[in-house]
Amino acid sequence: MSQKIERQVEEQAKLWSGVAPPNAASEEFARGLAEIAKGFERLRGQMAFEEEPSSFEAALHEIKEQTP
């Protein structure tokens, strides 16, 4: 990330909501987002869409009521 996450959250809040953080809650939220982003970055290239429907989706289709 080219900017500190706290700065990005502040800019986006101002742009989308018209509010001007920072406050303690927004800074904590931003730090949490930073950790989530780092987690996704570590998984980059390892995740892919499934070629077959997941077992949950397949089960839903199996039990779906047939319309007359």
pLDDT of residue 43: 86
DSSP string, 24-52: HHHHHHHHHHHHHHHHHHHHTTT----SS
pLDDT of residue 51: 63
pLDDT of residue 34: 83
The phi and psi torsions of 19 (rounded to 5 degrees) equal -105, 155
18: left (phi over 0), alpha (psi -120 to 50) or beta: left
pLDDT of residue 21: 65
DSSP string, 13-29: HHHHH------HHHHHH
Residues of the chain whose pLDDT is less than 50? none
pLDDT of residue 52: 64
Global pTM reads: 0.44
